[in-house]
Amino acid sequence: MNRGLTRRTVLGYAATSLALSTFTLPGCRRDEPVQLADALRLLVDNSPTFTEVGRAFLNENPTEDTASLTAWLTEALEWLPEGSGASLGPRLANAIRSDFTEGRTLPVSNWILSETEARWTALHALTMPAAG
């Protein structure tokens, strides 16, 4: 069995369990559960374009799903919801910068993207609430 996959799967369950965390999003009650995808969504400036990029990634990586993407990003961003939400943006930017510096890139419709940003857009595309 692929060790990375196992680790990701485990982390995926861990991410799901973050629903029990106490991190609070603006507009949420303090005790309302928060997932990484929700926190990341707050950082998106232009949702339709993120969705477009994310769909392109998913078309080229059809085995990826919400769980695997959440697990991957949880590990990459060292996501610990308790008290960490405020620094998520800079940590995300740093992770993306590190990806590029160390050659952790992949093509999305031939664009050279960091692995972290590509998965961020994909998770956004999968978890964005339907319009209307």
Q: Which residues bind another protein (CB under 8 A)?
A: 43-46, 49-50, 52-53, 56, 89-90, 92-94, 96-97, 99-101, 103, 105, 107-114, 117, 121
The distance of closest approach from Cβ of residue 130 to another protein in the complex, given in angstroms and rounded to an integer, is 20
Q: Which is nearer to another protein, 20 or 86 (CB)?
A: 86
Q: Which is nearer to another protein, 8 or 117 (CB)?
A: 117
The distance of closest approach from Cβ of residue 98 to another protein in the complex, given in angstroms and rounded to an integer, is 8
CA atoms of 122 and 28, how far apart (whole Å) = 24
Helix or strand holding residue 112 (H, E): strand 111-114
Could you tell me which of 5, 84, 70, 78 has the C-alpha nearest to residue 36?
70
The distance of closest approach from Cβ of residue 33 to another protein in the complex, given in angstroms and rounded to an integer, is 24
Please give the structure tokens belonging to residue 64: 């990826």
Show Cβ contacts of residue 74 under 8 Å, excluding neighbours closer than 6 positions.
11, 14, 15, 18, 36
Q: Which is nearer to another protein, 83 or 107 (CB)?
A: 107
CA atoms of 99 and 104, how far apart (whole Å) = 5
The distance of closest approach from Cβ of residue 16 to another protein in the complex, given in angstroms and rounded to an integer, is 25
Q: Which is nearer to another protein, 12 or 88 (CB)?
A: 88
CA atoms of 98 and 29, how far apart (whole Å) = 34
